[in-house]
A and B are shown apart, each in its own frame.
Chain A
Amino acid sequence: MNINATLIGESITFFIFVWFCMKYVWPPIMNSLNERKKLIADGLAAGDRGRHELELASKSASQHLLEAKQKSGEIMAAADKRAAQIIDEAKQTAKVEADRIFASAQANVAQEVARARETLRSHVAELAVAGAEKILRREINSKTHADLLTAIQNEL
């Protein structure tokens, strides 16, 4: 329990230890603590940012969805309109075509009729001539009445 030179030795030891601690122990530990603190803070900030971005993304997604719905509605309406239009046009064309076909058929028929009449006319004339010939063969000379026959033929 005597005070002796241990005192001095202890003081020197004290300073050496404190110096060592100050130089080699404290700064690296403190640095790593601060680094980790920063890392955690960054992580939390990134998490916040991520959440925020998610929110924005979902908002914009619903916005897009809404727009898409609206656009699809518009497209459908336009398509309906177009379909009706096409049908109308088709009807119109069909009608025109039908009229045309009808007209040409009528023309054809008229032509046929005319031709048939022509044929018939010539046949009737021939028949008439043949009949008349048969009747007149006995009593009338066809040559003498030829001008008469021609007049009748022209009348038909």
Chain B
Amino acid sequence: MATEVLTSSEYIRHHLQNLTYGHLPDGSWGVAHSAAQAKAMGFWAINLDTIGVSIVLGLLFLLMFRGAAKSLHTGVPTGFQNFAEWAVEFIDDSVRGSFSGRSPLVAPLALTVFVWIFLMNLMDLLPVDWIPHLAMAMGIPFFKVVPSADPNATFGMAIGVFLLVLFYSVKMKGPGGFASELAFHPFGKLGLPANIFFEGINLIAKPVSLALRLFGNMYAGEMIFILIALMFGGGIGMAVFGGALQWVWAVFHILIITLQAFIFMTLTIVYLDMAHQTDH
């Protein structure tokens, strides 16, 4: 919206559009320049902003923690090592609290999920216009900086968790055990179709709720930031009020992003714990 005048709805739509790379209608591969173009690309397209930001943030997390892990010593910890150890201890406590089995995967999984999602959510606190404007200045039509406000990212992670749940269910209970858990609960042998129906919903609900909860919260949060940002165009009084509102919402959002990351992590641990439980 640097040069052309935009209506409010166009402004909002612009902010909510991902930078999509895919098959253009004219037959070539490229970046979609409008929402309709992006939609027309179908499934085999990729949101460059979502995947790019999430990979950068994930690498940031891994490199920082790897750096801390490399420079570890048993003396008095300082600086980032202190923080990393605190985070690891916090996650370890959470895992011990919710996960009854023993697994080398769950705790690092929880750490990754928590910090990664937290960093993704943190992008929400960047003022909503900065990154899109910067991108526009660089000739990039769209740039949505919050990966967790893109359902692709949240569903991608939820599917990852879901696959782990399936893997550990089969591994711990055996294919037969897992199948019988789906087929013979809660109504016994006679209620087989109903059992499959209910347990199937129960199973599918896990990744769906996981993904939608995070997505919904982040999307709504971003939407409110965008709406507040709209007020900046409505005269000096509205702008000051909008600034105050944005500050208040940002402070509140600090809580939300941490909480959402924590909920995602805790539910991941709980779901994996359920997958590890052999008696239903």
Q: Tell me whether A14 is interfacial, beta carbon within 8 Å.
A: yes
Chain A residues with CB below 8 A from B112, complex form: 14, 17-18, 21
Closest CB of chain B to A42's CB: distance in Å? 11
Q: Tell me whether B55 is interfacial, beta carbon within 8 Å.
A: yes
Decide if A39 touches B74 in the complex (CB within 8 Å).
yes
Decide if A7 touches B156 in the complex (CB within 8 Å).
yes
Decide if A36 touches B74 in the complex (CB within 8 Å).
yes
User: How far apart are the CA atoms of A24 and B85 in the complex, in Å?
Assistant: 14
Q: Tell me whether A10 is interfacial, beta carbon within 8 Å.
A: yes
Main secondary structure on B side of the interface with A:
helix
Q: Tell me whether A4 is interfacial, beta carbon within 8 Å.
A: yes
Chain B residues with CB below 8 A from A8, complex form: 156
Decide if A10 touches B50 in the complex (CB within 8 Å).
yes
Chain A residues with CB below 8 A from B92, complex form: 30, 33
How many of chain B's residues have a CB under 8 angstroms from any CB in A?
Answer: 55
Decide if A9 touches B46 in the complex (CB within 8 Å).
yes
Q: Tell me whether B157 is interfacial, beta carbon within 8 Å.
A: yes
User: How far apart are the CA atoms of A15 and B108 in the complex, in Å?
Assistant: 11
Known contacts A8-B156, A21-B108, A30-B88, A3 near B43 by CB under 8 Å: yes
Decide if A35 touches B69 in the complex (CB within 8 Å).
no
Decide if A4 touches B88 in the complex (CB within 8 Å).
no
User: How far apart are the CA atoms of A22 and B55 in the complex, in Å?
Assistant: 17
Q: Mark A8-30, 1 if CB is under 8 A from B, else 0.
A: 11110111011011101110111
Q: Tell me whether A6 is interfacial, beta carbon within 8 Å.
A: yes
Q: Which of A10, A28, A31, A35 is in CB contact (< 8 Å) with B157?
A: A10
Closest to B161 in A: A14
Closest to A2 in B: B39
Decide if A4 touches B43 in the complex (CB within 8 Å).
yes
Q: Mark B16-50, 1 if CB is under 8 A from A, else 0.
A: 11101010000000000000001101111111001
Q: Which of A10, A24, A31 is in CB contact (< 8 Å) with B66?
A: A24
Closest CB of chain B to A18's CB: distance in Å? 5
Top 9 closest pairs, chain A to chain B, by CB: A10-B156, A6-B152, A26-B108, A22-B108, A14-B160, A28-B69, A32-B72, A6-B47, A21-B108
B residues with CB within 8 A of A: 16-18, 20, 22, 38-39, 41-47, 50-51, 54-55, 58, 61-62, 65-66, 68-70, 72-74, 77, 84-85, 88-89, 92, 104-105, 107-109, 111-113, 116, 147, 150-153, 155-157, 159-160, 163
Q: A4-B152, A7-B155 are in contact. List 12 more A-B contacts (CB 8 A).
A: A10-B51, A13-B54, A13-B156, A20-B62, A25-B65, A25-B108, A26-B108, A29-B68, A30-B88, A32-B74, A33-B92, A36-B74
